[in-house]
Homo-oligomer: A and B are copies of this chain.
Amino acid sequence: MKGFFHPKSVVIVGASRTPGKVGYETLRVMVENQRAGAFKGKLYAVNPRSDEPILGVPTYKSVLDLPEPADLAVIVAPAKYCPSILEECGKKGIKRAIVISGGFAEVGGEGVKLQEQLKEVAERYGIRVIGPNCVGVVVPSSGVDTMFLPVHKDMDGKPLESSPRPKPGHISLISQSGAFGVACLDYMYGEGIGLAKFVSYGNKVDVDEVDVLEYLAVDPETKAILIYAESIDRGREFLELAKKITKEKPIVILKAGRTSAGAKAASSHTAALAGSDKIYDAAFKQAGVIRVLDMEELFDVAKALVMQPPAKGDRVAILTDGGGVGVMASDEVESLGLKMAKFSEETLSKLQGLKDEGVIPPIAAIWNPVDLTGSATDESFTKALRILLEDENVDAVAILALHHVPGLTSKLPEKLASIAKEYDKPVVAMDVGSSTYARAFREKFEEVGIPAYPEPERAIRAIKGLVEFGKVKYGF
């Protein structure tokens, strides 16, 4: 599988000379990645009409004419040519192909036959195939990117970023829906969330979620595995494998089609056979797979999992300068089945000490949530955080730091992070707002390794993910 993500040479079969066509855009993305230094391998193109170079890439009339068997063939030719192209790949000794082209089983009739032919050829030559009818793979660290959607798109005559790719990172995403996968990458880019591997497997004539999972389990770049699925075909293998993986690496799944309306929609979308959602739920739980209900939660949890250690218990401390957000976070703690940490006597007396010293105001609440009030300062936050992390009744801390109060500075995130690093307990942050300050403040937290959220409930849901992973890992 590694050759799909880190190939030394790639050939685009069905490359075109016409901008806008899939066969041109796919090649262009790879050429740009090569020029930018992201893709360090060799690039070839195949176009049956002419062997004039396209975009400066050496071009051949047939796969058979290539100077070497490329590590990976990306096939974007019309469906009807794909079986014979794959046959040529086999003859040439190519071992991996991604078939982007649509027009197979998903259109019925002739397409079903073409897909069977594709499968037969793949098996005969032992070629591993991703697709057909898929977006393929995107790997920011190796520059391999088979997503034909151009980064920019015209809006009222101005080119705007339309399908940007995320920066390299440690989250991998497997998506049964190509379109939703593309949308997720757009979201990740805008939210500054890094990507390890993205795979859209389409009609999965060969490679499916189990194969990809097997690879991601050992991929050193991948620290959390996210899955969007409407059905899981090899259920038993998937769960057995997941059970092994989740002891070390978290898997988070967004399984859609959880209601009868959703299942009905899924059956016409990916021909997914629904199966009872309760059975899925129980199976995921048994396999240690963390289940989320929407995209926002998928990435909120993933971000926390790659930035913070898993929790060793479910007792949450809340530290805030805004009483209201403290109340909302407390509501969410209980709603999610987590516990509000009950501070030790020592903690309470240390917090009282901060009051006596004038570090925190007399009206501050020192029970959980700790509310430093609008008079909060960097010093009050940092001193209080250390006291909370020292308490053995505290397993995780949510820092709800509304930046609006006058006493907080932009140095707060790094000050808090340097304390958090001394303890093996997860810490997440929250600041409400869409102002430039709010956005930059949350970014600063993430730069120093503390995931930051724009709503108290989302911060607590992230902690829930860390608690679930902790349960699987440490068995509490």
Contact = CB atoms under 8 A, between A and B. Distances in A.
Interface of A: 20, 106-108, 149, 153-156, 160-164, 175-180, 182-184, 186-187, 189-191, 228, 230, 256-262, 264-266, 268-270, 293-296, 318, 321-328, 330-331, 333-335, 340, 362-363, 365, 367-369, 371, 374, 402-406, 409-410, 432-441, 454-457
Contact of A435 (B163, B257, B367, B371): B163
The 4 residue pairs across chains A and B that have the minimum distance between CB atoms: A190-B434, A177-B324, A186-B433, A180-B324
Given A163-B435, A183-B322, 14 more contacts: A108-B363, A155-B410, A161-B436, A162-B404, A179-B374, A179-B404, A182-B404, A228-B324, A256-B328, A262-B334, A268-B323, A268-B367, A269-B365, A296-B455
B367 A180 contact: no
26 contacts: A106-B363, A153-B437, A160-B436, A160-B440, A161-B437, A162-B435, A162-B438, A179-B321, A179-B405, A182-B402, A183-B402, A187-B433, A187-B434, A189-B435, A190-B438, A230-B327, A256-B328, A259-B330, A261-B340, A262-B331, A265-B369, A269-B323, A269-B371, A270-B323, A295-B328, A295-B455
A335 B189 CA distance: 30
B374 A257 contact: no
A245 to B, nearest CB: 24
Contacts of A328: 256, 262, 294-295
Contacts of A161: 435-437
Given A163-B435, A435-B160, A261 B333 contact: yes
Contacts of A178: 374
A327 B324 CA distance: 35
Contacts of A436: 160-161
Contacts of A437: 153, 155, 160-162
Contacts of A432: 180, 183-184, 186-187, 295
Given A404-B183, A438-B190, A268 B365 contact: yes
Nearest to A362: B107
B365 A440 contact: no
A22 to B, nearest CB: 9
A149 B256 CA distance: 44
A331 B256 contact: yes
Given A176-B324, A183-B433, A436-B160, A410 B154 contact: yes
Contact of A156 (B107, B257, B410): B410
Contacts of A322: 177, 179-180, 183
A268 B454 CA distance: 24
Contacts of A402: 179, 182-183
B186 A404 contact: yes
A455 B176 CA distance: 18
A212 B176 CA distance: 50
A302 to B, nearest CB: 15
Contacts of A270: 323
B155 A440 contact: yes
Q: Which of A154, A189, A362, A432 has the most CB of B within 10 A?
A: A432
A312 B400 CA distance: 40
Contacts of A184: 432
Contacts of A435: 160-164, 186, 189-190
Given A106-B363, A186-B404, A323-B179, A331 B258 contact: yes
Nearest to A262: B331
A154 B409 CA distance: 8
Nearest to A321: B179
Contacts of A340: 261, 264
Contacts of A434: 186-187, 189-191
A180 B260 CA distance: 38
Contacts of A438: 162, 186, 190
Contacts of A180: 322-325, 432
